[in-house]
Amino acid sequence: MLKILGKAASINVRKVLWACAELQLPYDREDWGSGFRPTAAPAFLALNPHGQVPVIVDGDFVLWESHSILRYLAAQYGGAALYPAEPRERARVDQWMDWQASDLNRAWSPAFMGLVRRSPAHQDPAAIAASCDDWTRAMRVLDARLAATGAYVAGADFTLADIPIGLSVNRWRHTPFDKPALPAVRAYCERLRRREGFRLHGDNGLP
Ligand SMILES: N[C@@H](CCC(=O)N[C@@H](CS)C(=O)NCC(=O)O)C(=O)O
């Protein structure tokens, strides 16, 4: 049975849990990460030397890095529709996944840490305001993309990319600052609510 190491509140662990729901893949999950077993434990560092969740153990195969895990699970467990083989379709999925993990993640980080996590180290109002601006700019681009597809981020069909992007939209909704109305993002959220994976691991009250 697939083993997932990581607390269920972590956005990166939730990507993996949602992917398992899409693939109807059973798993055992162990709570690791802040508030639970420490990822600095030697047993954990032996699996992921970065000391971060999620990690999966699939037989004798160990893998860390959430988007790599999503791609592996889709490839290994019949997720061709989630991660198409056709090079251009696949590249479009990768493009949005990579953007989420890099630019979008970077944009929201100070605002999220300051406004939601209330981290004492992230209370500089100028840094929070700049992050809110960057995040809003990124979300406007996403809104335009979703308005153009009228469906999902990579196109007409739900793909792996909608997992990190869907969780990001959920985080946007839960972060308290003055945000513009983004009608296509709102409609996308309604569309995602039809999926059990999003209801369980995305739209579950956690930011
Ligand atoms: N790039 C990594 C980032 C993983 C990451 O930042 N994980 C956080 C939780 S969301 C973590 O492990 N924090 C340390 C901890 O909780 O102890 C991925 O996508 O898997």
Residue 8: pLDDT band (50, 70, 90) is very high
d(CA 24, CA 116): 32
d(CA 50, CA 55): 11
Average pLDDT across the chain, whole number: 98
Residue 68: pLDDT band (50, 70, 90) is very high
Cβ of residue 109 lying under 6 Å from some atom of ligand 1:
no
Whole-model pTM over 0.95: yes
- Nearest residue by C-alpha to atom 17 in ligand 1: 33
pLDDT score at 127: 98
pLDDT score at 138: 98
- Nearest residue by C-alpha to atom 10 in ligand 1: 10
* Residue range 183-204: mean pLDDT, rounded: 98
Cβ of residue 164 lying under 6 Å from some atom of ligand 1:
no
* Residue range 56-84: mean pLDDT, rounded: 98
**Ligand 1 centroid distance, CA of 33 (Å):** 8
Encoding tokens for residue 40? 């600095």
Q: Which atom of ligand 1 is nearest to the CA of 66?
A: 20
Task: Give the angle subtended at the CA of 32 by the CAs of 112 and 13, to the nearest 5°.
Answer: 55
127 to 87, 108, 130, 136, 146: CA distances (angstroms): 39, 11, 5, 14, 28
- Nearest residue by C-alpha to atom 11 in ligand 1: 52
Are 74 and 83 spatial neighbours (Cβ–Cβ below 8 Å)?
A: yes
pLDDT digits (tens, 9 = 90+) for 93-145: 999 999 999 999 999 999 999 999 999 999 999 999 999 999 999 999 999 99
Residue 26: pLDDT band (50, 70, 90) is very high
pLDDT score at 58: 98
**Amino acid identity at 28:** D
Cβ of residue 33 lying under 6 Å from some atom of ligand 1:
yes
Are 81 and 90 spatial neighbours (Cβ–Cβ below 8 Å)?
A: no
